[in-house]
Structure 1
Amino acid sequence: MPALTFRTWVLGICSCVMLSFINQFFSFRQNPVSIGTISVQLAILPIGKLMAATLPEKTITVPMTGWSFSLNPGPFNMKEHVLITIFASVGSGGVYALHIVTIVKVFYKKEIQPILAILLTLTTQMLGYGWAGLFRKFLVDSPYMWWPATLVQVSMFRALHETEKRLKGGLTRLQFFLIALGSSFAYSVIPTYFFPSLTALSFICWIWPKSVTAHQIGGGVQGLGLLSFGLDWNVVSSFLTSPLAFPAFSIICALAGAFLSLYVLVPITYWSNAFESKRFPIFSSRTFDHSGNRYNVTRILDQKTFTFDQQAYDSYIILKLISFHRSIWQQMKSSIQNKSGDVYNRIMKNYDSVPQWWFYTIFVVVLALAIFACEGFGGKLQLPFWGVLLAISLGVVFTLPIGIITATTNQQPGLNVITELIIGYLYPGRPIANVAFKTYGYISMVQSIFFLSDLKLGHYMKIPPKSMFLVQMVGTLINNMVTFGTAWWLLTTVENICDVTQLPKGSPWTCPGDNVFYSASIIWGVVGPLRMFGKLGVYAKLNWFFLVGLISPVPIWWLSRKFPQHKWIKLIHMPLIFYNASAFPEVKAVNYWTWGVVGIFFNVYVYRRYKGWWARHNYVLSAALDAGVAFLALLVYFSLQMNDIFGPDWWGADEGDHCILANCPTDPSILVDGCPVVS
């Protein structure tokens, strides 16, 4: 089958541009909208078939090259469809380094040159590609690495390209998708425009409207979210992605981590007043000083050098905060010992593999650009060359173990805290250096795993490896340019974007991810882990949790050996539990509980009771719901909100949960405007 055709390039580039723009555009909103690749995977099929039916079978020769291609090489085929979806998957992923650009411009009120910002985003996106080739044997060729999210796409491709006959009284998958898409689109106008409060229904707050404790317990956005839920698919999928694509055990482990965090650790810590936590909100992504007010970071930064000022810090008030496993080793060993005997490997040997020197060349070139970006431009990124090299080393070391977790559970623990901790100790007092180091170490690993995931899709679908490689490279360049342009446009045109104290009521431009990123830059970069969690800090006792994390898999392993008849014990995955416990406060309680209920309903109840329906429609439904929400949100913004036309001004117009007292401290010595004094 022809793969890299004219149709592939046209539809692939258009898909990449569209998803790059939409997902970056909505990443600044309170509940980010994210269109996944499955939506494009379905939408592209009729367009590809239309092009195959209408384009002339004309061969075009490129002047002075002798290279020619056909506008219409025949019927639209599965391999073209896969490569277009790879383009789309590159576009659907955000550019993490844009958080740095945002906090520099919006929160720190500093200028950053566009060329520096582009170099920063491009190098952090492509560094991981350079060493992805080292792990192909273990994470792509190995049959023990099955990649659940990739299997979703594989099943969709086969369903879409197999001849399907509609059963009497039933629907084809495409018909079901269109009906679900239309229903999702029509319903989404209610929570998006007319009734935004449907995103978080927190009944406990409504029953006790004047109780701070009730608001803290019941608030789904700024509280612990007890009995809080949302009636908006965007709440379900915006942060945690669609639960319909997760294995059931992965969903249950995620909910266990959220439960332990929200209803065990936080209540014990807060109501025992550990670390004087009653001086602050119970659940917040912001930073506070000892008096319970917002932390004024400008008071402890030297504005000329943009570095930590020890004397100013001493005169200010202390910064306060609010709130691997044996199976991995066995899977790693199986992967390493794999003799490439499965059917996919035998088939893929018919194609020329991507030479290793392609990966090494990318690594050397991008590394040089990364060092230039950090050392040049007046040192605005504050990170010296050795910091770049150390960050990359961390990314290389962790790619294999975290890649194994991702390939078997559909969840990916991050290196963000580890990288912040390391550079915070080694190079304190420099906020931008801290987040730059984190991005080079953490995101380069993420990009490497993302690259390998796409290679696995190509492996399943028998796509020529060199075609996969080329599509990923071009798609990354396009994604980088479009997302940067979108972010720069919004940062320079939306008044008071990300500043929740200045935005008008109901404005969605609250930038939840950027707020968390900014707070992290203060904690780990400006103040530093030594003054927070070391001998100079008030949170030193939290270091004991490193030991907890280290030994936590041991009792699970012992129980699985002691009671081998209970197979479910082996499904208790401690890295997943702790990973999901750390997702707060960017992810809210209402997001987790709504996501979990939907996931368990479809992947436990429906899967067991109606397995035939689940196999036929589950992933199609997920794609339709995602696409319907996204298209409606785009329509509402560009036709109404962009022209300052908002929904009706009433109680339900607030996108929050009406639990305003959840932000109040409970220490009677702390006075905050709008908060009652708790005795």
Structure 2
Amino acid sequence: MTDLPTLEKKASYDLEKDSDAFAKVETASVGSGDIEIRDEDVVIQKAEDVALQVISTRDDPDVPIFTLRVVFLGIGLTAFSSVLATIYTFKPQNASVSQLFGLIIAYVLGEAMASIPNHGWWRYLNPGPFNIKEHTVIVIMASTASNVSTTMEVIAALDLFYGLTLNSGVAIFQIFATQMIGYGVAGLLRSFLVYPTYAFYPTYISVVNLLQSLHFRGSLNVKKRKFFWIVFAGIFLWEWIPQYPFPLLTAFSIVCLVDQGRSKNSEWIRNLFGAGSSNEGIGLLSFGFSWTLITQGYPLVWPLRTQINSYLGMVLGYIVLSVSYYNNVFHGRDLKWMSTSLFNTNGTTYDQEAVLDSNYHLNRTALAAVGLPRYTTTFAISQLCYNLSLGSAVTSVLLWNRAELKAAFWTIMRNGRTECDDPHFLEMKKYKEVPQWAYGLLFLVTIALAIGLGYAGPNGTVLIPAWSVIFFSFLGFFFSIFIGFVTATTGFNLSVKYCVQLIAAFVHPGQPVTVMYANLFGNASAFQTLYMLQDLKLGQYIKLPPWYTFGAQMAGSIIGSIFNFTMMKSIVAANREVLVDPSGTRIWSGWIIQSLNSSAVAMGALGKDLFSYGNEAGYWIIPFCLFIGLLIPIPFYIAHKFMKPTSQGAQLIRFIDFPILCQYIGYLPYSVNGQWWTCFVIGVTSQYYMRKWHPSWFVKYNYLLSAALDGGAQVISFILAFAVFGASGKAVNFPTWWGNPDPAVMSADRCMPVS
């Protein structure tokens, strides 16, 4: 009888001889005693099936995990990722540090350490080949630190806009505490949002696919590695061109190129078609060729349903935003087209300090003299749509996924014991699980820590009372259930910030600083929950023992908190005037911090006045849209019940994703928007044409292509940030020419500049 290792070698040999067989068998590997065979010519029908078709269930339980190599590279790359993510927080582009960036750097360094001698004392630095589980621990540590906490942004806002400088120890522990609250919630929700196949986290498929391609042997993986490095090199050599010498390529608009600010309608053209500079326009028919921007739409990895709903939302957004602005909805026609700042009645920037007393509470006498602030129409519409989105998410999950919610509840009641038929989960049952009580204890202990830190403000300032920390932490727990399900099944992250801020405004009227902290525990902790859930799923895909995943996330949070704070202090000190300017520069921008602060002032200090019914600007509809959102899915659900499940009408209703659709109507009034039409072309080509007509290529290379493009773009972006974009303390501007116009004369896409 032929043994399994011999069969594995034979299968690999046969594949090399017969190239057609690659379409039928990805690998003949030993996984728990079974030969894993996949038919790659089968078109993937259900979105979650990519987790079974693209990702192997193979596991090697005997490889070393906790090694000196992991400690050295884990700490180093965690610090590195944390610093880079903090830099991106203060950039005009809405960029982030991809997990793939740390993954690639870790692989290069890990392989380098694996090449040194492994005899004598050297064996501690090189215990053997750099394996997939070591690699994953490092990646989880680095990615945990690269997800910049909103706490850091709040601390920056206190420094920039309130003159409040927190003690360094208090600030660092605040960052850590909000992350750990989210981690505790994530652990409690594992049976619902990690273990099952439907919770497949689309954006993580490319990460896992790359890890397995880099570490698993076999002739196909050799080809995959070669494909990856070729694409990586190609995008590395290309990406610096649109980012530095030729920024016109970040938003190539034919309409703007024809007009170039000459016609009497130039302002209208810029608002609708412009997209090359921060807060310029909404980018209709604008195509971008910078992958750093394109990847924000996840065109290669988001399921087709997610992408189509987002693009439909954008189309509606073009109409709704334009019609609202030019018809003076919210009385914003005389304000800027796009901005997240607050404005006076005459259009100048609102002076928040004029209406706050020395304790940073509302001064009503001053408010009567200064007046209420105003939003730009597009920003008000955006907040409205985000609340519609959140409301519809709660109802959608309750209507369509009651069975999963019920099963998750009873699993928590049984202290985490669960049954699940997911192949990846079944492979994990050999490892000792972290008990539910450990996550519950972490949740409660970090809430207690957060309560203590809330009373540690400068000069005895109470940043947030204890009862508020508890209330908003549990509110964040509640929201995590619904936004977590949407992220796990679609890859899309819903926003709860406007809803939480509105609740905080009525709970803490006239207290903007307290409202910002309430936002931390109701909103930021919910998003930390999402990040932690995704890493728990990564551990399940890779078959990393749960306690190692737990330790990696804890270590990443501690190290990341320190470097987040340290780098933020450095950037704020060196660029204070630019960061408080609503327009910023091409190099630095405080738009994220400004938005956070604007919401805190508008909803914290002025929420009751600004959002009450009868307000002249009509902002009362913004919070009310949360309740409207709750109602939106109901008539469609009822209609579906009266249809045959196989009818076109029923299928159309199930295809519509109201949370995504609603949020994308208001998604555009931020930052730069030159990439979305390129995302549409790439997304439809990948998730429809290639998936349906070239399923073999799709399974083998689509997600690997995404990983290569993300990785190469992230590496060159980091180099440019320090070499020419001022992260090192000095910016080096590229000489102006037709493809890089003077920003005072022409925007990056040669539209009329924003005044």
TM-score (norm 2): 0.80
SS at match of 1:498: helix
1:513 aligned to 2:600?
Answer: no
Q: Residue 188 of structure 2 aligns with which residue?
A: 134
Q: Residue 214 of structure 1 aligns with which residue?
A: 269
Distance of 1:626 and 1:152 partners within structure 2: 10
Distance of 2:301 and 2:448 partners within structure 1: 38
Q: Residue 92 of structure 2 aligns with which residue?
A: 30
Percent identity over the alignment is 27
1:234 aligned to 2:292?
Answer: yes
SS at match of 1:339: coil
Q: Residue 524 of structure 1 aligns with which residue?
A: 603
- Which of the numbers 203, 213, 217 marks the counterpart of 2:254? 203
Indicate the larger mover: 436-445 or 611-620: 611-620
1:346 Cα deviation from its structure 2 partner:
3.7
SS at match of 1:279: coil
1:488 Cα deviation from its structure 2 partner:
1.2
Q: Residue 460 of structure 1 aligns with which residue?
A: 541
Distance of 1:590 and 1:112 partners within structure 2: 38
1:207 Cα deviation from its structure 2 partner:
3.4
1:563 Cα deviation from its structure 2 partner:
5.2
1:484 Cα deviation from its structure 2 partner:
1.4
1:297 Cα deviation from its structure 2 partner:
1.5
Cα distance change on mapping 1:58 and 1:349 into 2, 3 Å: farther
What stretches of structure 2 of length at least 5 have no aligned partner?
Answer: 1-61, 379-394, 411-417
Aligned CA RMSD, in angstroms, stands at 2.8
Distance of 1:37 and 1:502 partners within structure 2: 30
1:653 Cα deviation from its structure 2 partner:
4.0
1:40 Cα deviation from its structure 2 partner:
3.1
Distance of 1:328 and 1:580 partners within structure 2: 23
1:194 aligned to 2:252?
Answer: no
Q: Residue 690 of structure 2 aligns with which residue?
A: 606
- Which of the numbers 315, 327, 344 marks the counterpart of 2:369? 315
Q: Which amino acid aligns with 1:79?
A: K
Taking the TM superposition and a 5 Å limit, the aligned residue runs for 1:638-657 are: 638-642=722-726, 643-651=730-738, 652-653=740-741, 656-657=747-748
- Which of the numbers 489, 493, 496 marks the counterpart of 1:408? 489
Q: Residue 423 of structure 1 aligns with which residue?
A: 504
Is the contact between residue 523 and residue 532 of structure 1 (CA under 8 Å) also seen in structure 2? Answer: no
Q: Residue 113 of structure 2 aligns with which residue?
A: 51
Q: Residue 450 of structure 1 aligns with which residue?
A: 531
Is the contact between residue 36 and residue 623 of structure 1 (CA under 8 Å) also seen in structure 2? Answer: no
Q: Residue 707 of structure 2 aligns with which residue?
A: 623
1:359 aligned to 2:443?
Answer: no
- Which of the numbers 260, 265, 270 marks the counterpart of 2:316? 260
1:647 Cα deviation from its structure 2 partner:
0.4
Q: Which amino acid aligns with 1:649?
A: T
1:543 Cα deviation from its structure 2 partner:
4.8
Is the contact between residue 101 and residue 711 of structure 2 (CA under 8 Å) also seen in structure 1? Answer: yes
Q: Which amino acid aligns with 1:226?
A: L
Equivalent pairs counted in the alignment come to 647
1:408 Cα deviation from its structure 2 partner:
0.6
Distance of 1:399 and 1:295 partners within structure 2: 34
Cα distance change on mapping 1:121 and 1:412 into 2, 3 Å: same
Is the contact between residue 253 and residue 285 of structure 2 (CA under 8 Å) also seen in structure 1? Answer: yes
Q: Residue 664 of structure 2 aligns with which residue?
A: 580
Distance of 1:645 and 1:662 partners within structure 2: 22
Indicate the larger mover: 80-89 or 356-365: 356-365
Q: Which amino acid aligns with 1:469?
A: F
Taking the TM superposition and a 5 Å limit, the aligned residue runs for 1:70-149 are: 70-149=124-203
Distance of 2:291 and 2:111 partners within structure 1: 30
1:427 Cα deviation from its structure 2 partner:
0.8
Distance of 2:513 and 2:304 partners within structure 1: 39
Indicate the larger mover: 183-192 or 416-425: 183-192
1:619 Cα deviation from its structure 2 partner:
2.3
Q: Residue 333 of structure 2 aligns with which residue?
A: 278
Distance of 1:297 and 1:616 partners within structure 2: 55
SS at match of 2:140: helix
Q: Residue 301 of structure 1 aligns with which residue?
A: 356
- Which of the numbers 444, 449, 467 marks the counterpart of 1:386? 467
Is the contact between residue 142 and residue 335 of structure 1 (CA under 8 Å) also seen in structure 2? Answer: no
Q: Which amino acid aligns with 1:243?
A: P
TM-score (norm 1): 0.88
Cα distance change on mapping 1:640 and 1:139 into 2, 3 Å: closer
1:662 Cα deviation from its structure 2 partner:
7.7
What stretches of structure 1 of length at least 5 have no aligned partner?
Answer: 61-68, 664-673, 675-679
Cα distance change on mapping 1:29 and 1:645 into 2, 3 Å: same
Is the contact between residue 345 and residue 373 of structure 2 (CA under 8 Å) also seen in structure 1? Answer: yes
SS at match of 2:70: helix
Cα distance change on mapping 1:581 and 1:435 into 2, 3 Å: farther
1:379 Cα deviation from its structure 2 partner:
5.0
Q: Which amino acid aligns with 2:720?
A: V
Q: Deviations over 1:479-526 (max 9, x none)?
A: 1111211111111123634244696xx541013322222221222122
Indicate the larger mover: 530-539 or 3-12: 530-539
1:103 Cα deviation from its structure 2 partner:
1.7
- Which of the numbers 78, 82, 107 marks the counterpart of 1:20? 82
Is the contact between residue 244 and residue 602 of structure 1 (CA under 8 Å) also seen in structure 2? Answer: yes
Q: Residue 40 of structure 1 aligns with which residue?
A: 102
Is the contact between residue 636 and residue 653 of structure 2 (CA under 8 Å) also seen in structure 1? Answer: yes
Is the contact between residue 243 and residue 596 of structure 1 (CA under 8 Å) also seen in structure 2? Answer: yes
1:23 Cα deviation from its structure 2 partner:
1.8
1:3 aligned to 2:65?
Answer: yes
Cα distance change on mapping 1:449 and 1:544 into 2, 3 Å: closer
Q: Deviations over 1:544-580 (max 9, x none)?
A: 5334312211243245442532234312111121233
1:485 aligned to 2:598?
Answer: no
Q: Which amino acid aligns with 2:285?
A: L
Q: Residue 225 of structure 1 aligns with which residue?
A: 283
Indicate the larger mover: 650-659 or 33-42: 650-659
Q: Deviations over 1:236-269 (max 9, x none)?
A: 23xx353322111111111222222231x22332
Is the contact between residue 510 and residue 607 of structure 2 (CA under 8 Å) also seen in structure 1? Answer: yes
Cα distance change on mapping 1:654 and 1:26 into 2, 3 Å: farther
Distance of 1:661 and 1:534 partners within structure 2: 38
1:181 aligned to 2:232?
Answer: yes
1:476 Cα deviation from its structure 2 partner:
0.9
Is the contact between residue 532 and residue 539 of structure 1 (CA under 8 Å) also seen in structure 2? Answer: yes
Is the contact between residue 33 and residue 629 of structure 1 (CA under 8 Å) also seen in structure 2? Answer: no
1:249 aligned to 2:305?
Answer: yes
Is the contact between residue 58 and residue 72 of structure 1 (CA under 8 Å) also seen in structure 2? Answer: no
1:119 Cα deviation from its structure 2 partner:
2.5
Cα distance change on mapping 1:438 and 1:497 into 2, 3 Å: same
Q: Residue 376 of structure 1 aligns with which residue?
A: 456
